[in-house]
């Protein structure tokens, strides 16, 4: 019997991995194309702020049981969050840090704000701001998204130790208006050529001109997240050797290099777990039978197909990923037409303040205790459909800093339940 | 002349700035005072149409003739702010019989060149037009950039000696012995326009005051103890993400709501609604207005029905209501005439010049209300004539022959030496004219800060130095450069632009300017949140709240309560290696 996971982001990957642990089911993952992981910072936030902006939360596991009842974390329960993170930690291995403690780390953002997060890429780890260590941030003039001097100023104003920042020229030549992903690809290439020696010597020469004026002992050096998509750890070691300091990355805006690395890591884990991944497969609807979904209609690069399914997990994302769509008058879940509650008056969807309490941030399906989407009469839409990740409503991941944690924990529970449905 | 009168012009829209320039060119001493940034009133809330006069030909032929004449003058003296799109009046089957012919005849009577087209011919020119358009006629409408036009007027006024004070609000008019002696001014915070700064007010002496404050004219007049009945009417406009038409498209029917589509650069602007409001600042910006524009204009250009919109904005038209006052307009020609086409807002769109000496027995002040951007120069000429007449000064107006600055070309050979792509070169040259080399070659590196519009750091920094632009007012910088006006509406560039205020300004100022800029961009998007734009809004919110944590920055963290990361401080050196970040 087959569990079909509809969506290839973080929640989808975890759902598929959780389902694949069940020995009696096969798992197939259908994904339309690029996922919103590519826009994600690569940090795995669990809960940084309680509702109302209270925080930063030091221990998410203390705060989760106090969340409002409709929150997806309350639906799955705090123990499931722990189990799900353990699954993620097993998959991530050495690529992520933070598993050793319940506590959040404070990591520097690209603007030099601090953000509480539960798991962070190994490339980010040496830069954790909650560890006191003198810090130098180095940006690249051409990558204007990360202004190292500005970020350092802000960190210096907030933290009890010296943070200093500067910008240097690009270590490799790039055409046009370069993005972080372009530099990452060029550094991978440079690594293949000469271990990126030339590039990093150029970096070091430029930096030395500035650094001479500062005490450079016992410091760490932070750069925007550009250290390759493939040779990341070698590049980081090479750069650390060149500048004779630990090197870390600061996550930046999309297109996100750590987000792509995470996507790659998850694809590898899915392959290892025997999950069949079909990319370019957009699920457009369902064939219901007796209140269940019997088969899915799928658009594929070759046309269309019908996929039989014993149990289905809806992990198509929220407004960003396309799992939730707003029209001029109503909000909908476009694949299965699940009910999405929203105010009739569109003007109530958004707050007046740009970063205010937006109702649209909470748009998504409501579920029963087993993560089954509910219709307008609060009955399950289908007996064998579970939902996870940003397609769920009732929480504002941006304000809470809870996106990845909700995706992982609801994906985990939905995948496990779907496997039971199918078995 | 042994004595040079000092004239204070209140209001920094095209009218006020045009008056200031004209008076300064005639040798008077001029101070212009504007509460917000230039164009922050009606000038910044219009759809950027340079009228041919065809829209008024039927209802107000004098006004139409003025438009036609001024359209021609502006193409000569301000051609670099005009996009010669041409305009069409298009007819749908349900449009009232006879209206097309009547309007065409009226255009002919005024002398507006109008070329008749069949439906097929019109669609040849504008493939986006509906197949149901039966016929059309072409007129010399055009697009105009009100921001750059006003800024050029101000800059030129400055070069003739005028002083331009922005973010300065007139809070009182000083009256003694039945004469106006000056104004009292309070400084505003340029980062958050409209917010008065704490501190003292400043008194500015004036021999004459021109009240050109549009919808605020009644308020300023009241400071001198006068009553000027001004009504305000709001109009909504929507900016689409694509340029759906290449010519201005007008619906050929009696004037109503949602009957015009104006192309500007790579976008189009849908206009407009017409609803009376009590207050020109705090009025409801309603979604039904936005929906109405799409409902009315989609039958004309069908692609609009599922077009993505970048933002909506509103403008407030000041309408002089003489029935409420004494009706004593002086040289305000036709001011009390009614427009009789039954359209909403039945007051004339023309302007009134009220001489408060003749009207109210108060020497030293006139109020100018109404008018259109197209005819601003003519209005300014008449106001300046009037003011000069008060002082017995007889000098001719020259604004119809002296070009506005910004149109001078840079040396093409010098431009060819810059290592930038052709599109950037053209855009920078178009925006900056002979100053293009200065923008293209700043002292340091010159990377792009606004990926959508390809605006460079040098361009933003040059704009921050422009006179009459407060650098911390990033909206003014946006109007000058187009930064943040593209597809992402500031999502990707707002923080980069604000960051350029450093190190001259502190972090607090950077944050305030960033919030104000991002907030202004958001205010426009808030009304068009459906489809892809809602998805993008969520993406932008996620980036700024999640990735940057701009919504809950940590002020004074208790570091001991948080995970210090793998490895302790003493082990830092070992972390330099390949396994530096691996799990402890």
Does the beta carbon of A225 lie under 8 angstroms from any beta carbon of chain B?
Answer: no
Instruction: For residue range B509-541, list pLDDT tens digits in order.
Output: 999 999 999 999 999 999 999 999 999 999 999
Which ipTM score applies to this complex? 0.97
B206-217 burial string, b = 16+ CB within 10 Å, else e? bbbbbbbbbbbb
Among A201, A246, A255, A199, smallest CA distance to A223 is for A246
Chain B residues whose CB is inside 8 A of the A58 CB are: 558, 561-562
pLDDT at residue number A391: 98
Contacts of B210 (CB under 8 A, 6+ apart): B7, B8, B9, B10, B16, B19, B365, B366, B367, B368, B383, B387
Exposed e or buried b per residue across B24-46, where buried means at least 16 C-beta atoms within 10 angstroms of its C-beta: bbbebbbbbbbbbbbbbbbbbbb
Of all residues in chain A, the one with the smallest CA distance to B445 is: A141
**Closest by alpha carbon to B49, among B243, B272, B219?**
B272
A126·B580 Cβ contact <8 A: yes
Q: Which of A86, A90, A110, A144 to mutate to test the interface with B (most CBs of B within 10 A)?
A: A144
Query: Cβ contacts (< 8 Å) between B448 and chain A: which residues?
Result: 144, 177
CA distance to partner chain A, nearest, from residue B467 (Å): 26
Fold agreement between A2-97+260-422 and A125-250: no
Residues from chain B contacting residue A241 (CB–CB below 8 Å) = 576
Look-up: residue for tokens 């001004």?
B230
Task: Measure the CA dihedral B491/B420/B445/A255, to 10°.
Answer: 30
Q: B562 vs A322: CB contact, 8 Å cut-off?
A: no
Helix (H, G, I), strand (E, B) or coil at A138: strand
Provide the H-helix boundaries in A145-218.
148-158, 180-194, 197-211
> What number is the average pLDDT over the span B427-451?
84
What is the predicted pLDDT for the residue at A215?
59
3-class secondary-structure state, position B215: helix
Query: Cβ separation of A97 and B291 shorter than 8 Å?
Result: no
Task: Give how far A131 is from chain B: nearest CA, Å.
Answer: 4
Interface test with A, best of B552, B567, B577, B582 (most A CBs within 10 A): B552
Q: Do A109 and B502 touch (CB under 8 A)?
A: no
Best interface-test mutation with A: which of B293, B541, B544, B571 has the largest number of A CBs within 10 A?
Answer: B541
Query: Beta A292-300 vs A114-117: how paired, if at all?
Result: unpaired
Alpha-carbon radius of gyration of chain A: 22
Best residue of B492, B580, B582, B584 to probe chain A, by most A CBs closer than 10 Å: B580
| CATH code given to domain B82-141+231-318 | 3.30.9.10
Taking CA–CA distances from A359, the nearest residue in chain B reads B538
For residue A69, what are the contacts with CB-CB under 8 A and spacing of at least 6? none
Report how far residue A212's alpha carbon sits from residue A133's, in angstroms, rounded to the nearest whole number: 19
Assigned CATH class of A2-97+260-422: alpha beta
Q: Is the pLDDT of residue A318 over 60?
A: yes
Nearest CB to A104; choose among B444, B563, B575: B563
Q: Between B22 and A40, where is the model more confident? A: B22
In angstroms, the CA A13 to CA A5 distance is: 8
Note the pLDDT of residue A398: 97
Contact B563/A360, CB-based, under 8 Å? no
Chain A residues with CB-CB distance to B556 below 8 A: 158
Give percent above pLDDT 90 in chain B. Answer: 73
Question: Is B41 within 8 Å of B481 (Cβ atoms)?
Answer: no
pLDDT at B191: 86
pLDDT of residue A212: 55
Q: Is there a contact between B247 and B138 (Cβ–Cβ < 8 Å)?
A: yes
Question: Tokens 């189009």 map to which residue?
Answer: B268
Chain B contact present for A129, CB below 8 A: yes
Percent of chain A with pLDDT over 90: 91
* Lookup: tokens for A282: 């957009």
- Tell me, what's the pLDDT at A213? 52
Instruction: Determine, for residues B518 and A354 on separate chains, whether the beta-carbon distance falls below 8 Å.
Output: yes
Task: Answer whether A97 sits within 8 Å of B565, measured CB to CB.
Answer: yes
Where residue B338 falls among pLDDT bands split at 50, 70, 90? very low
> Nearest C-alpha of chain B: how many angstroms from A262?
15
The domain limits of chain B are: 1-48+145-229+321-407, 82-141+231-318, 442-547
Beta strands A163-168 and A134-140: pairing type?
parallel
Q: Which range has the top average pLDDT, A85-89, B231-235, B476-480?
A: A85-89
pLDDT of res. A94: 95
A/B interface, count of CB pairs below 8 Å: 260
pLDDT value of residue B335? 37
Of A420 and B579, the structure prediction assigns the larger pLDDT to: A420
Distance of CA A111 to the CA centre of its chain: 19
Write out pLDDT tens, residues B353-363: 999 999 999 99
Check CB contact under 8 Å for A398 and B518.
Answer: no
H helix or E strand, kind and range, residue A79: helix A78-92
- The share of chain B scoring above pLDDT 70, in percent, equals 92
Point out the residue among B539, B568, B582 whose CB comes nearest to the CB of A39. Answer: B539
In 3D space, the residue among A331, A329, A123 whose CA is nearest the CA of residue A231 turns out to be A123
Domain ranges of chain A: 2-97+260-422, 125-250
- Rounded to the nearest angstrom, the minimum Cα separation between B127 and chain A is 26
Helix axes A403-422, A10-20, angle to 10 degrees: 40
Which of helix, strand or coil describes residue A407? helix
CATH of domain B1-48+145-229+321-407: 3.50.50.60
Closest CA to A223 of A124, A137, A114: A137
Residue contact A247–B576, C-beta within 8 A: yes
Higher pLDDT, B578 or B274: B274
Distance from CA of A143 to the nearest CA of B (A): 8
Model confidence over B286-317: pLDDT tens digits? Answer: 999 999 999 999 999 999 999 999 999 999 99
Which residues of chain B have a CB within 8 Å of the CB of A326? 529-531, 534-535
Measured between its terminal Cα atoms, the distance across chain B in Å is 86
A326:B421 CB<8 A: no
Candidates B492, B534, B578; nearest CB to A360: B534
CA distance B387 to B408: 31
Per-residue confidence (pLDDT) for residue A216, from 0 to 100: 63
Query: How much is the mean pLDDT over chain A?
Result: 95
- Residue B387: pLDDT band by 50, 70, 90 thresholds? very high
- Condensed to tens digits (0 to 9), the pLDDT of residues B137-162 reads 999 999 999 999 999 999 999 999 99
CA distance A395 to B104: 58
Cα A398 to Cα A320, A362, B272, B525, B542, distances in angstroms: 12, 10, 35, 19, 5
Q: Please tell me the distance from the alpha carbon of residue A364 to that of residue A72, in angstroms, as a whole number.
A: 11
Instruction: Say which of A129, A320, A345 has its CB closest to residue B538.
Output: A320
Give me the pLDDT at residue B430, please: 84
Q: Tokens 């991530």 correspond to what residue?
A: A92
Going by pLDDT thresholds of 50, 70 and 90, the confidence category of residue B78 is: very high
User: For residue B53, is it left (φ>0), alpha (ψ between -120 and 50) or beta?
Assistant: left
Distance CA B315, CA B233 (A): 8
As a whole number, mean pLDDT of residues B317-333 equals 57
Q: A416-420, B27-31, B103-107, B148-152: which has the minimum mean pLDDT?
A: B148-152
Provide CB contacts within 8 A for B44, sequence distance 6+.
B13, B146, B147, B315, B479
**Cβ contact B221:B369 at 8 Å:** no
Nearest CA in chain B to A47: B546
What chain A residue is nearest to B446 in terms of C-alpha separation? A142
- Residues in Cβ contact with A381 at an 8 Å cutoff, skipping those fewer than 6 apart: A336, A338, A339, A372, A373, A374, A375
Taking CB atoms and an 8 Å cutoff, what residues of chain B touch A231?
A: none
Which residues on adjacent β-strands are paired with residue A119? Answer: A44
- Going by pLDDT thresholds of 50, 70 and 90, the confidence category of residue B410 is confident
Whether residue B570 has pLDDT greater than 60: no
By CB neighbour count within 10 A (0-12 exposed, 13-18 middle, 19+ buried), where does A102 fall? middle
Q: With bands split at pLDDT 50, 70 and 90, how would you rate the model's confidence at B345?
A: very low
Taking only the tens place, the pLDDT of each residue in A137-191 is: 999 999 999 999 999 999 999 999 999 999 999 999 998 889 999 999 999 999 9
Q: pTM for this structure?
A: 0.93
Which positions in chain B touch A397 (Cβ < 8 Å)?
Answer: 542, 546
8 Å CB contact of A360 and B445:
no
pLDDT at A51: 86
Q: Which CATH number fits domain A125-250: 3.40.1350, 2.40.170, 3.30.300, 3.40.50?
A: 3.40.50
pLDDT tens figures, B183-242: 999 999 888 777 788 877 999 999 999 999 999 999 999 999 999 999 899 999 999 999
| Record: contact B576-A244, CB cut-off 8 A | yes
User: CB-based burial of residue A416 (10 Å sphere; 0-12 exposed, 13-18 middle, 19+ buried)?
Assistant: buried
């Amino acid at each position: 019997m087959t569990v079909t996971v509809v969506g290839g982001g973080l929640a989808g990957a975890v759902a598929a991995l959780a389902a694949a642990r069940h020995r009696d089911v096969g798992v197939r993952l259908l994904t339309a194309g690029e996922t919103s992981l590519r826009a994600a910072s690569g940090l795995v936030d669990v809960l940084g702020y309680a509702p109302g902006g209270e925080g930063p939360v030091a221990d998410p596991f203390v705060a989760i049981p106090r969340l409002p009842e409709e929150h997806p974390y309350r639906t799955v329960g705090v123990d499931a969050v722990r189990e799900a993170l353990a699954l993620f930690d097993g998959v991530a291995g050495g690529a992520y840090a933070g598993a050793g403690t319940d506590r959040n780390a404070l990591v520097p953002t690209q603007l030099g704000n601090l953000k509480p997060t539960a798991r962070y890429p190994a490339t980010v780890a040496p830069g954790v701001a909650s560890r006191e260590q003198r810090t130098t941030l180095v940006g690249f003039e051409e990558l204007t998204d990360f202004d190292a001097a500005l970020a350092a100023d802000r960190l210096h104003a907030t933290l009890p130790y010296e943070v200093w920042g500067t910008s240097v020229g690009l270590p490799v030549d790039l055409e046009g208006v370069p993005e972080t992903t372009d530099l990452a690809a060029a550094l991978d290439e440079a690594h293949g050529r000469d271990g990126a020696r030339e590039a990093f010597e150029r970096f070091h020469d430029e930096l030395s001109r500035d650094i001479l004026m500062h005490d450079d002992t016992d410091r760490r050096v932070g750069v925007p997240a550009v250290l390759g998509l493939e040779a990341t750890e070698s590049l980081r070691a090479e750069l650390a050797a060149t500048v004779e300091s630990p090197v870390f990355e600061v996550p930046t805006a999309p297109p996100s290099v750590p987000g792509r690395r995470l996507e790659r890591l998850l694809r590898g884990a899915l392959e290892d777990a025997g999950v069949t991944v079909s990319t370019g497969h957009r699920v457009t609807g369902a064939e219901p039978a007796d209140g269940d979904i019997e088969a899915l209609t799928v658009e594929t690069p070759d046309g269309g197909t019908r996929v039989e399914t014993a149990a289905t997990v809806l992990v198509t994302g929220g407004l960003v990923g396309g799992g939730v769509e707003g029209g001029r008058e109503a909000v909908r879940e476009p694949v299965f037409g699940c009910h999405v509650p929203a105010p009739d008056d569109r003007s109530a969807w958004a707050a007046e303040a740009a970063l205010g309490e937006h109702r649209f941030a909470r748009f998504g399906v409501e579920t029963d205790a087993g993560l089954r989407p509910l219709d307008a009469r609060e009955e399950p839409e289908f007996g064998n459909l579970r939902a996870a990740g940003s397609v769920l409503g009732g929480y504002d991941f941006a304000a809470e800093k809870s996106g990845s944690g909700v995706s992982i924990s609801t994906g985990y529970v939905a995948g496990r339940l779907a496997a039971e449905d199918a078995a | 002349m042994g004595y040079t009168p000092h004239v204070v012009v209140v209001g920094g829209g095209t009218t006020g700035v045009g008056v200031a320039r004209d008076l300064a060119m005639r040798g008077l001493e001029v101070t212009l005072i504007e509460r917000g940034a230039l164009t922050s009133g009606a000038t910044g809330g219009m759809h950027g149409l340079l009228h041919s006069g065809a829209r008024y030909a039927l209802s107000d032929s004098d006004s139409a003739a003025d438009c036609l004449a001024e359209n021609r003058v502006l193409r000569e003296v301000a051609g670099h702010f005009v996009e010669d799109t041409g305009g069409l009046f298009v007819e749908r089957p349900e449009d009232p019989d006879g209206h097309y012919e009547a309007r065409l005849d009226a255009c002919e009577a005024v002398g507006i060149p109008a070329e008749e087209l069949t439906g097929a011919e019109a669609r040849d020119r504008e493939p986006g037009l509906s197949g149901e358009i039966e016929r059309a006629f072409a007129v010399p409408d055009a697009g105009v950039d009100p921001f750059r036009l006003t800024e050029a007027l101000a800059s030129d006024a400055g070069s003739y000696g005028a002083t331009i004070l922005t973010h300065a609000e007139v809070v009182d008019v000083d009256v003694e012995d039945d004469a106006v002696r000056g104004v009292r001014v309070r400084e505003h915070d340029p980062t958050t326009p409209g917010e008065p700064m704490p501190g003292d007010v400043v008194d500015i002496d004036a021999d004459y005051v021109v009240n050109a404050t549009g919808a605020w004219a009644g308020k300023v007049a009241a400071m001198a103890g006068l009553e000027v009945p001004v009504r305000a009417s709001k109009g909504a406009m929507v900016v689409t993400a694509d340029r759906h038409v290449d010519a201005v498209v007008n619906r050929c029917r009696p004037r109503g709501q949602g009957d015009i589509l104006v192309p500007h650069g790579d976008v189009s602007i849908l206009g407009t609604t017409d609803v009376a409001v009590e207050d020109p600042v705090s009025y409801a910006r309603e979604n039904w207005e936005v929906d109405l524009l799409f409902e009315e204009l989609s039958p004309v250009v069908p692609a609009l029905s599922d077009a993505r919109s970048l933002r909506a904005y509103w403008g407030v038209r000041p309408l002089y209501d003489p029935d409420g006052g004494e009706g004593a307009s002086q040289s305000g020609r036709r001011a009390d005439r009614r427009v009789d086409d039954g359209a909403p807002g039945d007051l004339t769109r023309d302007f009134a010049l009220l001489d408060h000496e003749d009207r109210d027995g108060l020497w030293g002040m006139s109020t100018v209300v109404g008018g259109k951007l197209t005819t601003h120069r003519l209005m300014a000429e008449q106001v300046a004539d009037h003011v000069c007449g008060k002082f017995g000064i007889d000098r001719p107006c020259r604004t119809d022959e002296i070009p506005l600055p910004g149109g001078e070309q840079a040396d093409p050979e010098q431009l060819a030496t810059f290592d930038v792509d052709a599109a950037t070169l053209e855009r920078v040259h178009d925006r900056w004219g002979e100053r293009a080399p200065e923008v293209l070659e700043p002292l340091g590196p010159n990377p792009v800060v606004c990926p959508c519009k390809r605006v460079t750091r040098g361009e933003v920094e040059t704009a921050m130095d422009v006179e009459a632009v407060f650098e911390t007012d990033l909206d003014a910088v946006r109007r000058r450069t187009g930064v943040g006006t593209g597809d992402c509406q500031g999502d990707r560039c707002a923080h980069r632009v604000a960051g350029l205020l450093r190190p001259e300004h502190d972090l607090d100022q950077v944050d305030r300017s960033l919030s104000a800029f991002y907030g202004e961009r958001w205010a426009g998007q808030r009304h068009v949140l459906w489809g892809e734009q809602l998805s993008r809004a969520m993406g932008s919110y996620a980036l700024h709240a999640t990735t940057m944590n701009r919504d809950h920055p940590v002020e004074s963290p208790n570091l001991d309560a948080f995970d210090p990361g793998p490895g302790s401080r003493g082990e830092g050196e070992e972390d330099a290696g390949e396994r530096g970040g691996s799990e402890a």
